[in-house]
Amino acid sequence: MSSSPQVLVVGGGPGGAAAAFWLARHGVDVTVVEKRRYPREKACGDGLTPRAVRQLIDMGFDFDRPDVHRVVGLRSYAGDVMLEMPWPEHSIYPNWGATLRRADLDGRVAALAEAEGASVLQGVEAVAVVDDRDLTAVELRRKGEEPEVVTPDYVVVADGSLSRFGRDLGAHRRRDYPFGLAVRGYWESPNSTDGYIESQLDIRDREGRAMPGYGWVFPMGDGTINVGAGLVSTFKGWKDINTSRILEAYLASLPGHWQIEKDPIARPIGGKLPMAFSVGPKTGRNWVLVGDAAGAVNPFNGEGIDYAYETGRLAAGFIAGALATGDPATLGAYDEALVAEYAAYHRVARIFVSAIGNPSVMRTLTTVGLRSRPLMEWVLKVMANLLEPEERGMAESVYGAIEKVVDLPGLRRIKA
């Protein structure tokens, strides 16, 4: 790199690539550095909800490619009770989702940013140069080469849920907020062109005990399905849970229409996800956190890829504004925008996952709820964060009702 860019984006996943795309669209000189090389495997993200699809459409993503499989809705199970729900019609988001392997998706979105004018450097590790907790420069490290030091005006921290770069800047996760544990693998299936994403809301371990979380199947449309299980940290004794054993139990109870063999195509992989914007501070004098690095994962359903695209886009707008005005204080408005857009929703989501840490509560909510289609259609809209703009005026009432439902005696509550 011959000179320092105006903005350096650390991490080339969804949040970083989106930030780079929109910064380049604003005419900003932006460089993305990705530690690994595309394509690379990730534990989560093969399922794209309507929110994620909307962001990708806005960036010009081609959904007509043969390896993109469209899905029309969600099929939910709670034990033997099943309900199919199409994605709702919406004035902003499409009424369909999609599946595509992250190994393919991330490189394509980075290529869109590159086509917009961003520079994308692969196989480059970024290390924060910090003086008294102030980010003064970034050291770029390439294997077999001398480190290069750059001094961008601003840095977008998008290096994922573990975010070593963010930790070096003092960012940390609130310990009283939930986080998710997930594991997934790929299996061959003759039904991989199914039009529904599938979830199991009453997942059991090998001893038959109810667990707080869910199982999923993403039909990939290519002869394979993504099967995984996610848990939340609100469960008593979660530190002793082996998610691989939970996945095995879920596989044993999969509906017969998937017709899978015992062995996966490759060894399943897993990860840990901070949730509910639990990581902060999200801004510094010259940096912002986006995506998983900010804990931007929906506790209701474990979604993170859509919020990574959205927060990357938001951050790009405020950084472009700061560059245009010469006023770094403009970055503070990014924090305010996150609060305005997500705070109420994630407050009730935190309370909800606190409640489902009680297995009996989870079992009651799922088995009773799935027997009421009107209720579950509303629940789908709330859990996928797909309320219409005019419905968002009702959000506080909806959230308050959910809080009352789960506000049961003896629950270990998470502070809002």
**What's the distance, Cα to Cα, between the start and end of the chain in Å?**
45
Please give the pLDDT value at position 369. Answer: 64
305 and 360 share a domain? no
**349 and 337 inside one domain:** no
Angstrom distance (rounded) from CA 43 to CA 184: 6
CA dihedral 320, 325, 326, 329 (to 10 degrees): -80
Written as six digits, the tokens of 17 are 């690539």
Residues 25 and 147 in one domain: yes
Q: What is the DSSP string of 35-95?
A: SS-SS---SS--EE-HHHHHHHHHTT--TTSTT-EEE-EEEEEETTEEEEEEPPP-SSS-S
Q: Is residue 414 part of a domain?
A: no
Mean pLDDT for 242-260 is 88
Do 133 and 265 belong to one domain? no
Mean pLDDT, range 208-212, rounded to an integer: 69
- Does residue 171 fall inside a structural domain? yes
**What pLDDT, on a 0 to 100 scale, did the predictor assign at position 87?**
94
Same domain, 37 and 164: yes
Whole-number Å distance between alpha carbons of 200 and 190: 20
360 plus 231 within the same structural domain: no
pLDDT for 135-186, tens place per residue?
A: 999 999 999 999 999 999 999 999 999 999 999 999 999 988 888 889 999 9
Q: Closest by alpha carbon to 22, among 60, 62, 65?
A: 60
Confidence grade of residue 255 (pLDDT, cut at 50, 70, 90): very high
Instruction: Give ∠ CA 292-298-299 in degrees, rounded to 5.
Output: 115
What is the pairing mode between strands 97-99 and 196-200?
Answer: unpaired
Asked whether residue 318 falls in the same domain as residue 380, the answer is no
Q: Which amino acid is at 184?
A: R
How much is the average pLDDT of 353-371? 67
Size of the chain, expressed as the number of residues it contains: 416
Give bridge partners of residue 237 from the DSSP assignment: none
pLDDT of residue 69: 98
Both structure tokens of 9: 């984006």
Answer for the pair 38, 107: CB distance below 8 angstroms, yes or no.
Answer: yes
Q: Are 17 and 312 in contact (CB under 8 A)?
A: yes
More confident residue, 336 or 44: 336
**pLDDT for residue 22:** 98
Confidence band (pLDDT; 50, 70, 90) for 414? very low
pTM of the entire predicted model:
0.92
Domain extent for 368: 345-406
Backbone angles phi, psi at 199, to 5 degrees: -135, 145
328: domain CATH number is 3.50.50.60
Same domain, 299 and 355: no
Domain contains 416: no
Say if residues 189 and 223 touch (Cβ distance below 8 Å). yes
In a domain, 80, yes or no: no
User: What was the pLDDT predicted at 411?
Assistant: 42
Proportion of the chain above pLDDT 70, given as a percent: 87
221 shares its domain with 357: no
Tell me the C-alpha distance between 5 and 9, whole Å.
10
Quick count: other Cβ atoms within 10 Å of Cβ 42? 20
Q: Provide the pLDDT confidence category of residue 416 given band limits of 50, 70 and 90.
A: very low
Cβ-contact 360, 67 below 8 angstroms:
no
Q: What is the pLDDT of residues 301-350, one digit of tens each?
A: 888 999 999 999 999 999 999 999 999 999 999 999 999 999 888 887 88
Q: Which of 342, 366, 394 is the last residue of a domain?
A: 342
Cβ 157 vs Cβ 293: under 8 Å:
yes
Question: Domain tally for the chain?
Answer: 3
pLDDT for residue 62: 97
Q: Last residue of a domain, which of 225, 255, 272?
A: 272
CATH of the domain at 225: 3.30.9.10
Q: What angle is formed at CA 135 by the lines to CA 160 and CA 174, rounded to 5 degrees?
A: 45
- Looking from the CA of 206 toward its CB, the CA atoms found within 13 Å total 8
107 shares a domain with 241: no
Phi-psi region of 286 (alpha: psi -120 to 50; beta: other; left: phi over 0): alpha
Shared domain for 46 and 148, answered yes or no, is yes
Rg of the chain taking only CA atoms, in angstroms = 21
State residue 296 phi and psi, 5-degree precision: -80, 70
- Is residue 125 a part of any domain in this protein? yes
Give the model's pLDDT for residue 393: 57
The Cα–Cα gap between 277 and 300 comes to 13
Confidence of residue 354 (pLDDT cuts 50, 70, 90): confident
209 and 247 housed in the same domain: yes
- 19-23, 122-126, 389-393: least confidently modelled range: 389-393
